[in-house]
């Protein structure tokens, strides 16, 4: 019988955050690395687009006019997925077959910059710090509303991710329930804390920092790594090195360090295939239920769909839909590829 080699043999890896497995098939990605062969796609957008509903001073779909903003700008989503109205629950919520619960919440759009032609990696560290200030402000404001227990900050970047507009922006959905992914993470973090009185993600990070092979980039306060259990080819996670449960707990120095690693990671992403790298990213952090959450560690997920080039995308289909997530390139190889990318944006070379 052959001895198991994690770099060669098909195997499954466990994600302790959401208690799911991923099938890894390293033997299928034997082909040489092709990322560097891409042609540079250097599309430059104007800094102002009169047709863009996110540009300063422009009219949105509902007729409202955007502020003539100079930094970031937040507005209530005109097509919000959630409503603030209090609704008396009349549908039976415990029915096995027809279980439904009303959900209350607020959806906002956050413009990262007045400049239509830039993306997150192209903003300066100071400009990204300003975006973080806005996230902090919204987490505080929304979290203070009595029925809001969770604030989800996220970004969809690129049309391949369903993003409707290249103007740099993200969204915030705040609601009364913990959404499914967060609920799963919350329960794992809580269970671990109950048992060990330590933080699952901080303990995990400590181990990763000893091994080093999945670390993409780090500074004094933050680490960006490809999780051991990543499902997307170039999935990453940003974690703080100390016990920070929510975005409002960052010191000024940590805010700068967070902005720096965000800029560097997203720049590396763009440099990987010389393209504006699409992804969905989101910050997972403590619920806003008024309780202390020592079990929580703020972390930011990046789920990019690209596989081998600017145009070859991974599809979560077939076996992934019917069985479980599967990947060929190992997280270790992905981390190495990202580590080897420059932190100077290809457009500036
Ligand atoms: P995406 O590009 O990531 O889909 O986000 C844009 C959001 O902006 C989207 O949720 C909202 C859409 O509902 N929007 C407005 O609120 N007002 C508009 O005038 C157009 C789009």
pLDDT digits (tens, 9 = 90+) for 20-79: 999 999 998 765 544 444 455 567 899 999 999 999 999 999 999 999 999 999 999 999
77 C-alpha to ligand 1 centroid (Å)? 6
Determine if residue 148 is left, alpha or beta; phi over 0 gives left, psi from -120 to 50 gives alpha, anything else beta: beta
Nearest atom in ligand 1 to 162's CA: 4
Close Cβ partners of 57 (under 8 Å, ≥ 6 residues apart):
65, 66, 67, 68
180 C-alpha to ligand 1 centroid (Å)? 23
Torsion angle defined by CA atoms of residues 83, 84, 86 and 88, in that order, rounded to the nearest 10 degrees: 20
Instruction: Quote the pLDDT of residue 54.
Output: 98
Determine if residue 318 is left, alpha or beta; phi over 0 gives left, psi from -120 to 50 gives alpha, anything else beta: left
Q: In what order do the strands lie in the sheet with 20-24?
A: 11-15, 20-24, 325-327
156 lines ligand 1 (CB under 6 A): yes
77 lines ligand 1 (CB under 6 A): yes
Is residue 15 domain-resident? no
Beta-bridge partner residues of 153 = 172, 283
CA 189 to chain centre: 18
Q: What is the mean pLDDT of residues 300-311?
A: 94
Checking if the pLDDT of 238 tops 90, the result is yes
Is residue 204 domain-resident? yes
Task: Write out the residue range of the structural domain in which residue 190 sits.
Answer: 45-84+99-348
Checking if the pLDDT of 94 tops 80, the result is no
Nearest atom in ligand 1 to 79's CA: 13
58 lines ligand 1 (CB under 6 A): no
61 C-alpha to ligand 1 centroid (Å)? 9
CA dist 182 and 149 (Å) reads 11
Q: Is 116 a catalytic residue?
A: no
* Domain total of the chain: 1
Is residue 241 domain-resident? yes
Is residue 64 domain-resident? yes
Torsion angle defined by CA atoms of residues 285, 219, 129 and 49, in that order, rounded to the nearest 10 degrees: -100
Is residue 215 domain-resident? yes
Nearest atom in ligand 1 to 107's CA: 10
- If one counts every other C-beta atom within 10 angstroms of the C-beta of residue 23, the result is 17
Is residue 32 domain-resident? no
Maximal CA-CA distance, the chain? 70
Is residue 305 domain-resident? yes
Checking if the pLDDT of 347 tops 60, the result is yes
Is residue 275 domain-resident? yes
Q: For residue 310, what is the domain's CATH number?
A: 3.30.428.10
Torsion angle defined by CA atoms of residues 30, 34, 272 and 274, in that order, rounded to the nearest 10 degrees: -160
Q: The tokens of 207 are what?
A: 């181990």
The per-residue pLDDT for range 147-182, each reduced to its tens digit, is: 999 999 999 999 889 888 999 999 999 999 999 999
Q: Which residue's C-alpha comes closest to atom 20 of ligand 1?
A: 61
Nearest atom in ligand 1 to 78's CA: 16
CA dist 71 and 49 (Å) reads 17
Mean pLDDT (the chain) is: 94
101 C-alpha to ligand 1 centroid (Å)? 26
Q: The tokens of 314 are what?
A: 């991974």
Counting DSSP H helices and E strands in the chain, the numbers are 6, 12
150 C-alpha to ligand 1 centroid (Å)? 21
Instruction: Quote the pLDDT of residue 41.
Output: 59
**Choosing from 169, 186, 284, 299, which is the catalytic residue?**
169
Instruction: Quote the pLDDT of residue 42.
Output: 64
pTM (global) more than 0.85:
yes
Q: The tokens of 34 are what?
A: 């092709």
Q: Which residue's C-alpha comes closest to atom 3 of ligand 1?
A: 163
């Amino acid at each position: 019988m052959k001895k198991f080699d994690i770099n060669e043999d098909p195997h499954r890896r466990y994600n302790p955050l959401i208690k799911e497995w991923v099938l890894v098939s390293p033997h299928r990605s034997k082909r040489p690395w092709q990322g560097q062969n891409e042609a540079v796609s250097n599309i430059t957008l104007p800094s102002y687009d009169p047709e863009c509903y996110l540009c300063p001073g422009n009219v949105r779909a509902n007729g409202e006019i955007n502020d003539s903003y100079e930094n970031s700008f937040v507005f209530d989503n005109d097509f919000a997925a959630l409503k603030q109205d209090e609704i008396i629950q009349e549908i039976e919520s415990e029915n096995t077959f027809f279980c439904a619960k009303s959900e209350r919440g607020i959806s906002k759009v956050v413009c990262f910059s007045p400049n239509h032609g830039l993306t997150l990696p192209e903003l300066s560290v100071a400009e990204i710090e300003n975006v973080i200030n806005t996230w902090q402000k919204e987490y505080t404001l929304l979290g203070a509303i009595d029925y809001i227990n969770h604030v989800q900050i996220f970004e969809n970047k690129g049309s391949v991710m369903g993003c409707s507009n290249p103007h740099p922006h993200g969204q915030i959905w705040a609601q009364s329930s913990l959404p499914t992914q967060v609920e799963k993470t919350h329960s794992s973090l809580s269970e671990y804390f109950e048992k060990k009185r330590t933080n699952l993600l901080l303990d995990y990070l400590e181990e990763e920092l000893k091994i080093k092979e999945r670390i993409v980039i780090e500074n004094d306060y933050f680490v960006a790594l490809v999780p051991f259990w990543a499902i997307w080819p170039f999935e990453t996670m940003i974690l703080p090195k100390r016990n920070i449960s929510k975005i409002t707990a960052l010191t000024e120095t940590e805010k700068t360090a967070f902005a720096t690693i965000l800029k560097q990671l997203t720049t590396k992403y763009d440099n990987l295939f010389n393209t504006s790298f699409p992804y969905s990213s989101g910050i997972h952090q403590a619920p806003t239920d008024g309780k202390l959450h020592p079990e929580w560690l703020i972390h930011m997920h990046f789920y990019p769909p690209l596989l081998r080039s600017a145009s070859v995308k991974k599809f979560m289909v077939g076996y992934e839909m019917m069985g479980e997530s599967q990947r060929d390139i190992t997280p270790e190889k992905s981390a190495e590829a990202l580590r080897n990318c420059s932190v100077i944006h290809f457009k500036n070379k």
